[in-house]
Amino acid sequence: MTQVIACIDGTDVSPAVCDYAAWASLRLTAPLEFLHVLDKSEYPTESNLSGNIGLGSRESLLDELAALDEQRGKLALEQGKLMLDAARQRAISQGIENPGSRQRHGNLVETLTEMERDIRLLVVGKHGSHLSQHIGSRLENVVRTLHRPILITTARFKTPERFMLAFDGSATTRKGVEMIASSPLLRDLPGHLVMVATDSAANREQLSGSQATLKQAGFDITTALVEGDVESVLCDYRYSHAIDLLIMGAYGHSVIRRFLVGSTTTSLIRNASVPILLLR
């Protein structure tokens, strides 16, 4: 059975990740599981320190350092278990029945790849300090590797009340429209389809067709076709219409989806004060 998977790491965004994951789990009526991955690069299962100390060093010192590393790893595992238990209790208090938890020692991307078949929605937090290049190395690798919807949260939870899809007329965003129409995640929320492109009959027709698809599914949809800089237009529109959830297609060759391989996306995700749902 597919489920909502929430990645927590004990940083200040983890409570918001828990809350957005619980919100999504209830909306989707899908099971929720919390995941904590202890990075093997930071906490190796075995330590070989012989190359770190010069000739003549005592063997007992090497043994002592190895024991300290082992103890550090055990403490990190125990801390992770406590975090998972706290996340479960937080979700239960919000109405989630029997949320699961999973702890792994390894690599986050590899772990999620192994779990991909079971993921309906992945929820991860945005760490501003880790966004110096692209959208953060681990987050970028997750987005590039997984073919599942990914919700990137902000540090504070706010129940989404209206959403905006950055629409470019591509096959990916048309598929995104179909995904939104068929999913209960955003049902009953007013939505906006915003296309940053030349005002032409062809573009208006594409917007109108996607609007009709969502209206047929019961959505109240507003469309906008605006010329200008993509990031500026989307940010200004989001602000002026009080949008609290931005939806984008992940990767590709269109103007909007090229965001995710360049500085524009880095800026958009870093500066966004709302969560971003990436569709694949």
Question: What value, to the nearest 5°, has the Cα angle with vertex 101 and ends 100 and 104?
Answer: 150
Residues 147, 215 share a domain? no
**Mean pLDDT, residues 52-76:** 61
Give me the chain's average pLDDT, please. 82
Domain-ending residue, one of 130, 153, 176? 153
Residues 178, 148 share a domain? no
**Would you say residue 46 has pLDDT above 60?**
no
Distance from C-alpha of 182 to C-alpha of 190, rounded to nearest angstrom: 15
User: Could you tell me if residue 54 is inside a domain?
Assistant: no
Provide CB contacts within 8 A for 143, sequence distance 6+. Answer: 135, 150, 250, 251, 260, 278
**Would you say residue 119 has pLDDT above 60?**
yes
Given a contact cutoff of 8 angstroms between Cβ atoms, the answer to whether 196 and 232 are in contact is no
Residue-wise pLDDT for 171-228, tens only, equals: 888 899 999 999 999 999 999 999 999 999 999 999 999 999 999 999 999 999 999 9
Q: Which domain covers residue 138, as residue numbers? A: 3-42+76-153
Residues 145, 175 share a domain? no
User: Could you tell me if residue 25 is inside a domain?
Assistant: yes
Question: What value, to the nearest 5°, has the Cα angle with vertex 34 and ends 274 and 108?
Answer: 85
Residues 124, 196 share a domain? no
User: Could you tell me if residue 64 is inside a domain?
Assistant: no
Residues 219, 108 share a domain? no
**Would you say residue 268 has pLDDT above 50?**
yes
Match 């999504």 to its residue by tokens: 24
Q: In what order do the strands lie in the sheet with 119-125?
A: 100-106, 32-39, 3-7, 119-125, 150-153, 276-279, 245-249, 163-167, 191-196, 221-226
User: Could you tell me if residue 130 is inside a domain?
Assistant: yes
Residues 250, 199 share a domain? yes
Residues 170, 131 share a domain? no
Predicted structure pTM score: 0.83
Question: What percentage of the chain's residues is helix, strand, coil (to nearest 5)?
Answer: 45, 20, 35
User: Residue 104 maps to which CATH number?
Assistant: 3.40.50.620
Domain-ending residue, one of 123, 153, 183? 153
**Mean pLDDT, residues 13-31:** 96
Residues 181, 244 share a domain? yes
User: Could you tell me if residue 47 is inside a domain?
Assistant: no
User: Could you tell me if residue 271 is inside a domain?
Assistant: yes
Domain count, the chain: 2
The reported pLDDT for the residue numbered 132 is 40
The reported pLDDT for the residue numbered 55 is 44
The reported pLDDT for the residue numbered 138 is 72
Domain-ending residue, one of 153, 181, 211? 153
Q: Return the exposure string of 236-267: e unless at least 16 CB atoms fall within 10 Å of the residue's CB, then b.
A: ebbeeeebbbbbbbbbbebebbebbeeebbbe
Residues 145, 13 share a domain? yes
User: Could you tell me if residue 121 is inside a domain?
Assistant: yes
Residues 149, 15 share a domain? yes
**Would you say residue 256 has pLDDT above 50?**
no
User: Could you tell me if residue 63 is inside a domain?
Assistant: no
Residues 149, 113 share a domain? yes
Residues 237, 208 share a domain? yes
